[in-house]
A and B are shown apart, each in its own frame.
Chain A
Amino acid sequence: MNPFSYARVSTSAAAVDAAARETGSAYLAGGTTLIDLMQLEVVNPATLVDVSAVPLARIEALPGGGLRLGALARNSDVARHPAVLERYPVLSEAILSGASAQIRNMATTGGNLLQRTRCYYFRDVASPCNKRSPGTGCSAIGGYNRIHAVLGTSQNCIASFPGDMPVALAALDAVIRTRKPHGGERTIPIDAFYVSYGDDPARETVLEHGELITAVDLPAAGWLAHSHYLKVRDRASYEFALASAAVALDVQSGRVRQARIALGGVATKPWRAVEAEKALIGSAPGAAAFGAAAEAALHGARPQTHNGFKVELGKRTLTRALERVAAGGTA
Chain B
Amino acid sequence: MDDDQRTGWSRRSFLGVSLGALPVLGWATASLRAIRVPLAGSSLAAAPLPVALNVNGVSRQILIDPRVTLLEALRDNLELPGTKEGCDHGQCGACTVLVDGRRTLSCLTLGVAAGGRKITTVEGLATEQGLHPVQAAFLENDAFQCGYCTPGQIMSAVGLLAEGCPGEPDAIRECMSGNICRCGAYPNIVAAIQQARGAAGSKGA
Contact = CB atoms under 8 A, between A and B. Distances in A.
B60 interface: no
Interface residues of B, number: 38
A35 B177 contact: no
Contacts of A105: 102-104, 159
A32 interface: yes
Interface in B141-178: 156, 159-160, 163, 173-178
Interface string A229-267: 000000011100000000000000000000000000000
B49 interface: yes
Contact of A102 (B65, B105, B174): B105
B63 interface: no
Contacts of A50: 110, 112-113
Contact of A1 (B67, B174, B175, B179): B67
B66 A6 contact: yes
B177 to A, nearest CB: 4
A32 B102 contact: no
Interface in B79-101: 88-90, 93, 96
Given A6-B49, A101-B159, A106 B109 contact: yes
A76 B69 CA distance: 23
Of B44, B65, B88, B178, the most chain A CB neighbours within 10 A belong to B178
Contacts of A6: 46, 49, 66, 110, 112-113
A11 interface: no
Report the interface size class on chain A.
20 to 34
B21 interface: no
Given A102-B105, A105-B102, A3 B177 contact: no
A28 interface: yes
Which residue, of B40, B65, B67, B88, has the highest number of chain A Cβ atoms within 10 A? B67
A4 interface: yes
B108 interface: yes
B88 to A, nearest CB: 6
A1 B176 CA distance: 29
B24 interface: no
Which one of A32, A36, A105 has the greatest number of beta carbons of chain B within 10 Å?
A105
B45 interface: yes
A8 B52 CA distance: 14
A6 B176 CA distance: 33
A236 B177 CA distance: 9
Contacts of A85: none
Contacts of A40: 89
A305 interface: no
Given A31-B113, A35-B108, A36-B89, A102 B46 contact: no
B202 to A, nearest CB: 24
A174 B51 CA distance: 38
B105 A237 contact: no
Interface in A26-63: 28, 31-32, 35-36, 39-40, 48, 50, 52
Interface string A115-133: 0000000000000000000
Interface string B39-71: 110101111010000000000000001110100
A121 B88 CA distance: 19
Interface of B: 39-40, 42, 44-47, 49, 65-67, 69, 88-90, 93, 96, 102-105, 107-110, 112-113, 156, 159-160, 163, 173-179
6 contacts: A3-B46, A4-B46, A5-B46, A100-B178, A101-B176, A105-B159
